[in-house]
Structure 1
Amino acid sequence: MNKMKRILICLSALLIIAFAATACGVSTGSGNADDTQKVLKVGVDDTYPPMEFKDESNATVGFDIDVATELAKKMGMKAEFISNDWAGIFLALESGKFDVIVSSVSRNEERMEKYSMTTPYIANAQVIVVPAEDTSIKEPKDLAGKNVGVQIGTTADESCAEYLKTTKFTLKQYDQVIQPFSDMKAGRLDAIVVDEVVARYYVKKDPKSYKVSSARLTNEPIGVCFAKNSTELRDQAQKALDELFADGTMKKLSEKWFGEDLTGNVKDIK
């Protein structure tokens, strides 16, 4: 009987300890404080410099990476980045592979209908990149008869599909945005249709090879993208984003990556 009592007392003590640990959020992992911090899983196409890409040490870096990191902090969470090719990134979001996409998602009508998005956090447009010495291509009609590169599945790809209805050119689609720039440098492309934020990065890096034509094709500010039913998490992110604008963080991040503030004129767009 005494032995049975001792067993019951030990079991009761173990249950009390387990309950207390659960209630206090104590991790059974390594014991670090960060083990109990909530994680925000962020989907990125990390082949899209300067927005998200791998640096020389294979770390994921870029403007969007910094934005997502600061956003998660404001939400009391820690950002965990999950790489995904762009062609399947929205399907991956819908399947629950990650909580959010912070990867240069342009806010257009179709996406606003299918997903929950925050207000924009940076200005953007579609532009035409040409070789530095080119003087013949200034606007879409000048693409006639040219070899034009674009990343597949992007809004630039959609724009080119529209231009093809009235202007005939050869369209080459690429899985990664770095590929058409390599092909242009090798003389295989006459033009690239791409996000302005990406175009600026490449021109700044290599002005002897690339330049941006004078035409801005579309106005496509970029927002944070959630699944359609993730409205509560979207609202938390919106509040955090508003705070990042208010405390000057967005301005600092833009100046870090682009040398100027591309965020200040978009925060009031709904």
Structure 2
Amino acid sequence: MKKLLTLAIMFAATPAFANTPVAKKTTKKTVVAKKVEAKKVEVKKAASPTTKATKKAPATEPPLYSIDSAAKPAPPAKTALARILRAQHLRVCVRSDVPPFGYFTNKGLTGFDISLATELAKRISIDYKKNLHIGWTVITAGARITSLQQKTCDIVIAAFSYTKSRAKLVSFSKIYLLTDKVLVAAANLTRKTPVIARVKGTTGKLDIKGEVRYYNNYQEIINAMEEGTVDYVIADRPIALHMIRSVTRPFNITKTLSKNAEHYAVGMNKGDTHLLKAVNSALSSLAQSGRLTYLHRQWL
């Protein structure tokens, strides 16, 4: 009995975990994750519908009245150009007997050459920051060279054609007009020996047979055409067209005697090189701006 009691006590004293099965050791493999570099993507933020794009302020322009071109250098003091700029006075010799280049109307002196001279004075005024005024002197065709040599005028703009013989006596600007030399004939020719009208001092070869009569100006020739006392007239094309429109008797241009025979230019005294340069510069500016061709359309 005592033995059984001892066994019972020993059984009761045995720990509870003595009957717990032993857990098996499990080996877990550690998986190392590969590093993947993520590409940086630049994400543009969408503009908020309430946010307006900021505009650059326009560049401020100077007021028009403050804009001016640079002045050309002043010419040497003793030159013709310097005298003109000091006096602000340009003396211009023109003709009044050669429409449409120069003639009188009830409004005064007018024509292509008068308009061209006015434009040249304005352009030279702009270039040298002056305000040139024009003094007009009316001359005949035969006085164009002598008026320069005698210092009557600074420039001649008078249907003045460049020729080699004239260029030995005076200086010429760049050519501002080319024109044909033409033959104007009466519609009804009755004379056995035709009468050919020409203005004194004009250029061009005579390629027709007949009696040549020289007149002081084109207005005298227009009067002779109207009276029926001339049969042929030799003139530059613009002048010929004007004469035909000015008479009631029928006349027509029947022949071009010389194509582009006449080279109109501005005449100046030999030695006035600074003035020549200023006139040429002004002519170039008028041509480049379209003003010169506008004068052609207006008058010719």
Aligned length: 209
Match of 2:164 in 1: 109
- Show CA shifts across 1:191-240 (max 9, x none): 01111120122234458532111323351120111111212101100000
Aligned pairs for 1:29-108 (under 5 A) are: 38-57=88-107, 59-76=108-125, 77-108=132-163
Give SS of 2:198's match.
strand
Percent of paired sites with the same residue: 21
Unaligned runs of 5+ in 1: 1-35, 137-142, 259-270
Give SS of 2:168's match.
helix
Report which stretch shifted further, 206-215 or 186-195. 206-215
Distance, in Å, in 2 between the alignment partners of 1:221 and 1:210 is 25
Match of 2:229 in 1: 188
Cα offset, 1:114, TM superposition: 1.9
The aligned amino acid for 1:187 is G
Going from structure 1 to structure 2, the CA distance change for 1:147 and 1:82 (only over 3 Å counts) comes to same
Match of 1:11 in 2: none
Distance, in Å, in 1 between the alignment partners of 2:297 and 2:254 is 23
- Show CA shifts across 1:123-156 (max 9, x none): 212111112x2589xxxxxx99321000011114
Distance, in Å, in 1 between the alignment partners of 2:218 and 2:288 is 32
* Highest RCO, 1 vs 2 (Cα 8 Å, sep ≥ 6): 1
Going from structure 1 to structure 2, the CA distance change for 1:238 and 1:129 (only over 3 Å counts) comes to same
Distance, in Å, in 1 between the alignment partners of 2:256 and 2:182 is 6
Match of 2:196 in 1: 148
Distance, in Å, in 1 between the alignment partners of 2:226 and 2:245 is 15
Unaligned runs of 5+ in 2: 1-85, 126-131
Higher normalized helix content (fraction of residues): 1
Aligned pairs for 1:1-270 (under 5 A) are: 38-57=88-107, 59-76=108-125, 77-131=132-186, 133-134=187-188, 145-156=193-204, 159-160=205-206, 163=207, 168-206=209-247, 209-217=250-258, 219-258=261-300
Going from structure 1 to structure 2, the CA distance change for 1:190 and 1:73 (only over 3 Å counts) comes to same
The aligned amino acid for 1:82 is T
Report the RMSD for the aligned CA atoms in angstroms.
2.3
Match of 1:25 in 2: none
Distance, in Å, in 2 between the alignment partners of 1:41 and 1:127 is 32
Going from structure 1 to structure 2, the CA distance change for 1:235 and 1:207 (only over 3 Å counts) comes to farther
Cα offset, 1:176, TM superposition: 1.0
TM-score (norm 1): 0.71
Give the greater-gyration-radius structure (CA).
2
The aligned amino acid for 1:53 is Y
